[in-house]
Amino acid sequence: MPARYDRANIKAWNELTKITRTEKNMDRAVIFAPLMEYYSDEQWLAWIDRLANEDYVVIDEFLPEPLYDAVRKFFLEHLEMEDFSRAGIGSSANRIIATSVRGDYVYWLDRKRDLPVQPFFNLSDELIVKLNRYCFLSLSGAEFHLAHYPAGSFYHRHLDQFRERSNRMISVIIYLNENWTKDDAGELRMYCTNGEERLVEPVANRCVIFRSDVLEHEVLLTHASRYSLTGWLLYQPSSLYHFSDHLI
């Protein structure tokens, strides 16, 4: 299901990302952001309908091109600067690093600090507003990280909710793998509650949104470096929790 963003908004949209990217007129960018919608209500409804019926939705070409480019550039810059660290499992005190379960490296995003990806957070705000409106959810925050799976890594079958902290309601993943081929592997395998399995190829600008509480999934062994922007929409924002909860 490819994204169809509103053509009328695209020009204003590009202006916004330009403003944000140059870090000038930040006040203007902040004032502009909530006034513009990335996608029409009709478009959001079609996606949310699928999410509600099947527990997941796959959306191709999700980010408008300038935003996709900005996110990928940001990813590569931080990879180059070796800003990624080993991902763990569990939250806060129960956090352990278990290479036998997951082998990815992550860089947690901060919407105030990481200006080039700020428009992405605005888009996630829009998703939260629509989900609250159409699904009667009470989402009030989000946490996102960049994830790098080096060749030879994987993430075993799991749910995105922890036993001791279950405020992750909706998982959102956007892949950044250009020229991905079947030989690269590293597909996302989803285990649907009706017993069906769905394999998703991690191709560039494909977005997968799914219910964190019911949809088990795994990342199959990847043969090439695998990049994504991954995060969760939260029932309560993680700022209500101890800071180290961010560091899963």
Residues that bind ligand OGA (CB under 6 A): 147, 155, 160, 173, 188, 202, 217, 219, 228, 230
Task: Tell me the closest approach of the beta carbon of residue 45 to ligand OGA, in angstroms.
Answer: 25
Task: Decide whether 40 or 166 has the Cβ nearer to ligand OGA.
Answer: 166
Q: What does 188 interact with, of ligand OGA, Mn ion, none (CB < 5 to 8 A by kind)?
A: ligand OGA
Q: Which of 125, 160, 187, 245 touches Mn ion by CB under 5 A?
A: 160
With CA atoms as reference, report the closest residue to 85 among 114, 105, 110.
105
Q: Which stretch binds Mn ion (CB under 5 A): 47-55, 59-67, 154-162, 184-192?
A: 154-162
- Is the CB of 120 or the CB of 162 nearer to Mn ion? 162
- For Mn ion, how many residues bind (rule: CB under 5 A)? 1
C-alpha distances out from residue 170 to 36, 70, 113, 119, Å: 23, 24, 24, 19
Q: Indicate the residue among 134 and 235 with the shorter CB distance to ligand OGA.
A: 235
DSSP three-state, residue 36 = coil
Q: How far is the CB of 17 from ligand OGA (least distance, A)?
A: 25
Q: How far apart are CB 158 and ligand OGA at their closest, in Å? A: 7
* Residue 55 binds to Mn ion (criterion: CB under 5 A): no
**CB of residue 106 to ligand OGA, shortest distance in Å:** 8
In whole angstroms, the minimum distance from the beta carbon of 179 to ligand OGA comes to 18
Minimum separation from the CB atom of position 208 to ligand OGA (A): 7
Q: Among residues 72 and 217, whose Cβ is nearest to Mn ion?
A: 217
Q: Name the residue nearer to ligand OGA (CB basis): 20 or 228.
A: 228
Express the helix, strand and coil content of the chain in percent, nearest 5 each: 35, 25, 35
Three-state SS for 132?
Answer: helix
**Cα gap 9→89, rounded to integer Å:** 40
Residue spans of beta strands (DSSP E) within the chain: 56-59, 85-86, 105-108, 141-149, 155-158, 168-175, 188-191, 197-200, 207-211, 216-219, 226-234
Residue number, 205 or 230, with CB nearest to ligand OGA: 230
Q: Of 59, 211, 240, nearest to 141 (Cα)? A: 240
158 vs 98: CA distance, rounded Å:
13
Query: How many CA atoms are closer than 13 Å to the CA of 104, on its beta-carbon side?
Result: 25
Residues near Mn ion (CB under 5 A) are 160
